[in-house]
């Protein structure tokens, strides 16, 4: 009897526990419900698609992954080809230093901008697929975010299938809207590239719902953690807010952000549930004793 009650108790609290992370130290998110995705209008030499095709693929990523979460108010909208400085193709995304200080010339004033880039400071090899940073943040509001796609001649993005390219773009959009990497393997935001990833995991849903909640309550207990670039399991870190993604190995560096106190939340939930569970166990025990001793 004790075993039955204890098992029920454990399942009740373990079943809905997930751990998503954030891509910036302020837990920032875009203020509005609608965020536009644009692509830089300059020509990309080596990514294997035109600017318009890249824009279409980004829109497909938004629709397939992010725009159909019932507990999130966020809706990503297809923009157009945006005319920007040629530095977006050649400059480094972050000024050198322990923390990522965005390069002023590459700051995106509004929405999400995708550009190709061939700077070796961003892409140390062809295996690094992309770099993303919300590079214009005011308080807890993301004004603009930049996604750079590797445009080196040896980049591996061009060799991916269309479905994989859409998945990669969806992952980068996740960083742009404020999410970090996940340690949960079936998540889109998992810190390693998985070619068969075709949908959001529960961890992704919890994360986007945390940053962009609707008026409906969020199911489950989402815990916020930090990613360590030296830890394969993707927990703990105190460095940068930018994300450098490789074809086989990924690195994420995020600024320190206090963990959500899930222990306190669980303690409250357990305290509220104990009287109910005890009453149920007592009723079952009475029936058990009546059956065996009468």
Residue 266 lies in a domain: no
**Mean predicted lDDT score pLDDT of the chain:** 77
pLDDT given for residue 271 in this prediction: 61
219 occurs within a structural domain: yes
Place of tokens 């140390």: 124
Q: Quote the strand ranges of 58-139, DSSP E.
A: 75-82, 94-95, 101-102, 111-117, 128-138
For residues 148-166, b (16+ Cβ closer than 10 Å) or e, as one string? bbbbbeebbbbebeeebbb
pLDDT at 256 over 60: no
Query: What number is the average pLDDT over the span 47-64?
Result: 97
| DSSP-derived 3-state class of residue 82 | strand
Distant-in-sequence, close-in-space partners of 101: CB < 8 Å, separation ≥ 6: 94, 95
Q: How many CA atoms are closer than 13 Å to the CA of 137, on its beta-carbon side?
A: 20
In a domain, 268, yes or no: no
pLDDT tens digit sequence for 120-161? 999 999 999 999 999 999 999 999 999 999 999 999 999 999
pLDDT digits (tens, 9 = 90+) for 58-104: 999 999 999 999 999 999 999 999 999 999 999 999 986 557 889 99
Instruction: Give yes or no for residue 35 having a pLDDT over 70.
Output: yes
Whether 70 maps to a domain, the answer reads yes
Q: Does an H or E element contain 272, and which?
A: helix 262-293
Contact 168, 195 (CB under 8 A): no
Count of structural domains, the chain = 1
> How many percent of the chain have pLDDT more than 70?
65
Region of 270 (left: φ > 0; alpha: ψ -120 to 50; beta: rest) is alpha
Q: What is the pLDDT of residue 223?
A: 44
Task: Decide if 287 is inside a domain.
Answer: no
| Segments forming the whole domain that contains residue 15 | 2-228+236-260
CATH of the domain at 117: 3.40.390.10
> Considering only CA atoms, which of 139, 196, 149 is closest in space to residue 175?
149
pLDDT-derived band at 243 (thresholds 50, 70, 90) equals low
- The confidence band for 39, taking pLDDT boundaries of 50, 70 and 90, is very high
CA 217, 59, 57, 42: dihedral to nearest 10 degrees?
-130
Q: Is residue 240 part of a domain?
A: yes
Question: Quick one: which H or E segment has residue 171?
Answer: helix 162-176
Query: Would you say residue 188 has pLDDT above 80?
Result: yes
In a domain, 276, yes or no: no
- Taking the C-alpha atoms of residue 294 and residue 277, their distance in angstroms, rounded to an integer, is 25
Is 293 part of a structural domain of the chain?
no
245 pLDDT higher than 50: yes
């Amino acid at each position: 009897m004790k075993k039955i009650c204890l098992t029920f108790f454990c399942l009740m609290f373990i079943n809905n526990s997930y751990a998503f992370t954030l891509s910036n130290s302020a837990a920032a998110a875009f203020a509005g419900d609608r965020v536009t995705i644009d692509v830089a209008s300059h020509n990309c030499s080596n990514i294997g698609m035109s600017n318009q095709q890249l824009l279409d693929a980004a829109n497909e990523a938004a629709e397939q992954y992010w725009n159909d979460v019932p507990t999130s108010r966020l809706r990503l909208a297809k923009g157009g080809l945006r005319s920007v400085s040629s530095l977006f193709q050649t400059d480094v995304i972050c000024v050198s230093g322990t923390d990522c200080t965005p390069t002023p010339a590459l700051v995106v004033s509004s929405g999400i901008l995708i550009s190709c880039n061939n700077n070796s400071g961003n892409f140390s090899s062809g295996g690094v697929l992309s770099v993303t940073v919300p590079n214009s943040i005011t308080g807890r509001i993301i004004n603009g975010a930049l996604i750079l796609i590797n445009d080196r001649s040896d980049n591996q993005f061009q060799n991916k299938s269309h479905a994989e390219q859409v998945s990669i773009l969806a992952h980068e959009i996740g960083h742009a809207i404020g999410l970090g990497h996940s340690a949960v393997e079936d998540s889109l935001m998992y810190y390693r590239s998985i070619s068969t990833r075709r949908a959001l995991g529960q961890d992704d849903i919890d994360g986007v719902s945390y940053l962009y909640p609707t008026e409906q309550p969020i199911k489950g207990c989402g815990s916020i953690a930090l990613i360590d670039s030296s830890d394969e399991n993707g927990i703990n870190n105190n460095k940068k807010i930018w994300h450098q993604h490789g074809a086989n190995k990924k690195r994420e560096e995020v600024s320190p952000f206090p963990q959500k106190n899930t222990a306190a939340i669980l303690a409250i939930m357990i305290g509220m549930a104990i009287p109910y569970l005890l009453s149920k166990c007592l009723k079952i025990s009475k029936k058990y004793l009546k059956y065996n001793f009468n």
